[in-house]
Chain A
Amino acid sequence: AQKVTQAQTEISVVEKEDVTLDCVYETRDTTYYLFWYKQPPSGELVFLIRRNSFDEQNEISGRYSWNFQKSTSSFNFTITASQVVDSAVYFCALSYSGGGADGLTFGKGTHLIIQP
């Protein structure tokens, strides 16, 4: 069975601080995909990034960066110079391949609070 663990239930930082959200996954598949989604207070789910298991290069997009380490089964997300607008719940997800079901397995989410 696949599993995604986001051990940090809630993180609170002051604006402009850097913050890292942890994601640890379990899968028996050799080919898999990892995702991060953002859910702002308005409730919609916003896709942020997809990473496949063969690509361990880190990715940077503006203030966002992602660190994928297969050796530790982790896919961590860092926000540099956080802003109040970054306040949201962030979900890490893993592609689901058990029995042919094509869905995503989500972690329970990390609630990020950026204080002004």
Chain B
Amino acid sequence: DAGITQSPRHKVTETGTPVTLRCHQTENHRYMYWYRQDPGHGLRLIHYSYGVKDTDKGEVSDGYSVSRSKTEDFLLTLESATSSQTSVYFCAISPTGRASYEQYFGPGTRLTVT
């Protein structure tokens, strides 16, 4: 058990509203990631963080922002949600902090934008 929780687990929101998803870890790992999973696309990296206040963009970062003010929390914000952001969002941590090592995933958040 990697000690990763995500909240909320399910959310329905309307187009144009802001949404924040939270990832919380209990193991004090330095590296954290946000992915989205869509049918036919597998998982795609949105943003990642390599420490408090240190973040960078992934493959599909447009329309998303992130923040990490504490080691244990990594927040993903959709400033103005669109229907194309309907997806399942997964947070992940890497115990050693590099992609050479496995990543462990949280339970996911299912977001529906109507």
Contacts and interface: CB of A to CB of B under 8 A. Distances in A.
Interface in A90-116: 91, 93, 95-97, 100-109
Given A45-B90, A45-B105, A104 B99 contact: yes
B99 A91 contact: no
Nearest to A107: B42
Contact of B102 (A35, A102, A105, A108): A35
Interface in B62-114: 88, 90, 94, 97-105, 107-108
Interface residues of A, number: 26
Nearest to A37: B105
B43 A102 contact: no
A55 to B, nearest CB: 12
Interface residues of B, number: 29
A33 interface: yes
Contacts, number: 66
Contacts of A52: 100
B48 A44 contact: no
Contact of B108 (A43, A50, A95, A108): A43
A102 B99 contact: yes
A111 to B, nearest CB: 11
Nearest to A4: B42
A105 B58 CA distance: 10
Given A91-B42, A108-B40, A50 B102 contact: yes
B42 A108 contact: yes
Contact of A106 (B44, B57, B98): B44
B27 interface: no
A105 to B, nearest CB: 8
Interface string B29-65: 0010101000011111100101000001111000000
